[in-house]
Amino acid sequence: MLELVAVQATAYAGIHRPQGDAMHDLVIRNGTIVDGTGTPARLADVAIDGERITVVGDVPDEGREEIDATGLIVTPGFVDIHTHYDGQVVWDPAVTPSSWHGVTSIVMGNCGVGFAPVRPDRHEFLISVMEGVEDIPGAALAEGVDFTWESFPEYLDAVEAIPHAIDIGAQMPHSALRVYVMGDRGRDHTEPATEDEIATMRRLTAEALDAGALGFTTSRTINHRDKDGNQIPTLSNAPAELWGIARALADKGFGHLEIVSDFVDLDTEFEIFRGMADAGDAPLSILLVQNDQSPDHWREVLDRIQDARVDGVDLTAQVAIRPVSLLLGLQSSMHPFITCPTYRAELAHLDLDDRVERMRDPRMRATLIDEHAKRTRGMSGLVAQSFHKMFPLGDPPDYEPAAEDSILGRARAAGVEPVQMAYDMLLERDGRELMLFPLANYSNGNHDVVREMNLAEGTVPGLSDGGAHCGVICDASFPTYMLTHWARDRQRGEGLPLELVVQRQSRDTARQVGLRDRGTLEAGMLADINVIDFDGLTLRAPEMAYDLPAGGRRLIQKAEGYRATIKRGEIIARDDAATGAMPGQLIRGPQQA
């Protein structure tokens, strides 16, 4: 049970109702307030007038509309600072699935990829980068992104012109910027930028910040390639280029830097990162995960981050709240048999029902199982052979399965070969079954490392990748999982306090990117609020939808238990269903409380 404390009303003096009008626009009554500050949960009411919270405490006056939150928790709207909705916001005003999970503000343009600035002859290149790096169907992007812009300010204007349910923040992506300034030379990450080109990139970044960009992002990982397998333009750019661009943030006095790196040479990389933060006089967040090849390396990286913070350098690690996991299935981008020659030649092009029928033929089964043994190269080969890390997902999904529940463990218990069990499992639910493959943060076979990361000084939740990895990852549900798993249901170790879970994904994420007008339930803050049936909150299993432009596919994941989601004082969802309200705005620059 939550420990509840009494609370006195606090009012916001900056908003006044007209004389003689004793009614608030909206009152949420009798809820358990988890306000995002980390303070103990308490019973109170919340009054809203216009788009702001005006009272938190005892609200004697009525509301034109009221929500009875008895037995429910009331939290701030969640702020997801690591998404890739750069294309989707052009065609999806609801910004799903994030808005299904209590998210009321998203930040896109991460990892140095995005769609502006762009010259008219570079549209296909930026699509190929986003398709390769973020696994968003190129056909969907080609049909859905109309490129009515060239500059980054024009892109922001185009996004702002479209109604949205939630707020949208954008960052300047390095790959697009570099190719815009350097042309074909910019596609070669080993090609140094000239002083004039760096000056131009700095100037354009400053213009983007003036127009409302929240910061600048880049990538230094070999895992980021375009659809043809080429390394993206930013992989190994010289420090002079990165530091020169970062100075645009110092020029303007605000902004956030974000970077992803493989940390192959930790000393060199950290010299670059600290130099960027210093040059920009700005906070910089670094993506951090545990990998199986060096399962303790993340601690070395975090130690460097914490040492830098002691020295006054504003570095933060963006960490996930569960293992970064591939979802394997016949509808997905990856499964154990997807590279088998017979599968590629005879089955891959078939619709799902026909594929399942063919795969149920004992002769096809024998052929693919035989060919599977030879698929050992690259990422696909690693996944195909790693039955000890392959688990049935289930509904509700289990993201912390035990070793004995793996395909290997189950096969040994049943006395069969794991490849046979995996094959048969793929055909369950008429070929719609999904298997979990924890790619990162699961080297120890549990969530203890994830918990350690989230309790560590200098970390903030990120890495949901909302809008990306459409065929193999579905992590935009992170906020719901934070509540259900960490604050309520975890069985294989300690959980986390509800108050901390809410604070981490509302106030902490918002402040990381300069948004101080949201993330807490306090008088004067934006009325971005969730009313949640915490006891009944349920995360459903991911499923494949074909609702992108051109019939493109994407994994989606729904939740049950959000009684209301409120954005800027308007109810955008009731009982897990959208109301159609579109109060969301483009976030232009940092926002003060």
Write the pLDDT tens digit of every residue in 482-520.
999 999 999 999 999 999 999 999 999 999 999 999 999
pLDDT, residue 15, reads 43
pLDDT, residue 378, reads 73
| Residues counted in the chain | 593
Contacts of residue 125, defined as CB under 8 A and 6 or more positions apart, other chains included, come to 179, 187, 226
Q: Does residue 143 sit in the same domain as residue 275?
A: yes
Contacts of residue 349, defined as CB under 8 A and 6 or more positions apart, other chains included, come to none
On the CB side of 109, CA atoms within 13 Å amount to 28
Total of domains in the chain: 3
Q: Rounded to whole angstroms, how far apart are CA atoms 83 and 467?
A: 6
**Beta pairing partners, 186:** none
Q: Does residue 355 sit in the same domain as residue 426?
A: yes
**Does pLDDT of 1 surpass 70?**
no
Convert 549-562 to b/e letters by CB count within 10 Å (16 or more is b): beebbbbbbbbebb
Q: Does residue 267 sit in the same domain as residue 119?
A: yes
Q: Does residue 195 sit in the same domain as residue 242?
A: yes
Residue 18 class from Cβ within 10 Å (0-12 exposed, 13-18 middle, 19+ buried)? exposed
* CA nearest neighbour of 114 among 100, 101, 105, 125: 125
Asked whether the beta carbons of 463 and 287 are under 8 A apart, the reply is yes
**Averaged pLDDT score across all residues of the chain:** 95
- Work out the pLDDT band at 383, boundaries 50, 70, 90: confident
> Mapping DSSP to helix (H, G, I), strand (E, B) and coil, where does residue 461 land?
strand
Is 517 part of a structural domain of the chain? no
Q: Rounded to whole angstroms, how far apart are CA atoms 586 and 257?
A: 19
Q: Rounded to whole angstroms, how far apart are CA atoms 230 and 224?
A: 9
Q: Find the angle CA(439)-CA(334)-CA(95) to the nearest 5 degrees.
A: 80
If one counts every other C-beta atom within 10 angstroms of the C-beta of residue 194, the result is 13
Q: Does residue 49 sit in the same domain as residue 17?
A: yes
Q: Does residue 250 sit in the same domain as residue 177?
A: yes
Is 2 part of a structural domain of the chain? no
Is 284 part of a structural domain of the chain? yes
Q: What CATH number did the domain enclosing 191 receive?
A: 3.20.20.140
Single out the residue in 405, 438, 471 at which a domain terminates.
Answer: 438
- Work out the pLDDT band at 379, boundaries 50, 70, 90: confident
**Does pLDDT of 11 surpass 80?**
no
On the CB side of 519, CA atoms within 13 Å amount to 26
Single out the residue in 479, 512, 545 at which a domain terminates.
Answer: 512
Q: Does residue 293 sit in the same domain as residue 341?
A: no
Q: Does residue 254 sit in the same domain as residue 384?
A: no
**Tokens read off for 540:** 């459903």
Return the axis-axis angle of helices 266-280 and 239-252, rounded to nearest 10°.
30
Query: What φ, ψ does residue 435 adopt, rounded to 5°?
Result: -115, 145
Write the pLDDT tens digit of every residue in 523-581.
999 999 999 999 999 999 999 999 999 999 999 999 999 999 999 999 999 999 999 99
**Beta pairing partners, 538:** 560
Asked whether the beta carbons of 521 and 56 are under 8 A apart, the reply is yes
Q: Rounded to whole angstroms, how far apart are CA atoms 386 and 317?
A: 29
Q: Does residue 312 sit in the same domain as residue 340?
A: no
Write down the residue that tokens 């299993």 correspond to. 541
Could you give the strand order of the β-sheet that contains 315-319, starting from the edge strand earlier in sequence?
A: 172-173, 215-220, 256-261, 284-287, 315-319, 459-461
Write the pLDDT tens digit of every residue in 319-344.
999 999 999 999 999 999 999 999 99
**Beta pairing partners, 343:** none
Cα torsion angle, 557, 559, 564, 569, sign = negative
Is 94 part of a structural domain of the chain? yes
Q: Does residue 426 sit in the same domain as residue 463?
A: no
Is 590 part of a structural domain of the chain? no
Query: What φ, ψ does residue 75 adopt, rounded to 5°?
Result: -125, 165
**Does pLDDT of 10 surpass 80?**
no
Q: Rounded to whole angstroms, how far apart are CA atoms 316 and 78?
A: 19
Is 588 part of a structural domain of the chain? no
> Mapping DSSP to helix (H, G, I), strand (E, B) and coil, where does residue 170 land?
strand
Q: Does residue 316 sit in the same domain as residue 335?
A: no
Structural domain boundaries, residue 414: 327-438
Is 523 part of a structural domain of the chain? no
Percentage of residues of the chain with pLDDT beyond 70? 96
Long-range contacts of 186-195 (CB under 8 A, 24+ apart): 186/233, 187/125, 187/230, 187/233, 188/233, 189/231, 189/232, 189/233, 189/234, 189/235, 189/236, 189/237, 190/236, 192/238, 192/240, 192/241, 193/237, 193/238, 193/240, 193/241
- Work out the pLDDT band at 421, boundaries 50, 70, 90: very high
Q: Rounded to whole angstroms, how far apart are CA atoms 508 and 80?
A: 10
Percentage of residues of the chain with pLDDT beyond 90? 94
Write the pLDDT tens digit of every residue in 259-298.
999 998 999 999 999 999 999 999 999 999 999 999 999 9
Residue 312 class from Cβ within 10 Å (0-12 exposed, 13-18 middle, 19+ buried)? exposed
**Tokens read off for 432:** 């719609």
> Mapping DSSP to helix (H, G, I), strand (E, B) and coil, where does residue 440 land?
strand
Q: What CATH number did the domain enclosing 569 receive?
A: 2.30.40.10
User: Which segment of 183-197, 259-273, 378-392 scores lowest on mean pLDDT?
Assistant: 378-392
* CA nearest neighbour of 115 among 49, 51, 170: 170
On the CB side of 364, CA atoms within 13 Å amount to 18
In whole angstroms, how far apart are CA 326 and each of 266, 491, 569? 27, 23, 37
Q: In terms of DSSP H, where are the helices of 84-238? A: 88-91, 123-134, 138-144, 152-160, 174-182, 195-211
Is 552 part of a structural domain of the chain? yes
- The per-residue DSSP string of 568-579 comes to TTEEEEETTEE-
* CA nearest neighbour of 555 among 483, 479, 476: 476
Write down the residue that tokens 């010259």 correspond to. 119
* CA nearest neighbour of 43 among 12, 73, 77, 65: 73
Write down the residue that tokens 């989606």 correspond to. 556
* CA nearest neighbour of 526 among 507, 502, 513: 507
Contacts of residue 305, defined as CB under 8 A and 6 or more positions apart, other chains included, come to 286, 288, 315, 316, 317, 458
**Tokens read off for 380:** 């696909």
Cα torsion angle, 391, 392, 398, 401, sign = negative
**Does pLDDT of 13 surpass 50?**
no
Q: Does residue 543 sit in the same domain as residue 414?
A: no
**Does pLDDT of 186 surpass 70?**
yes
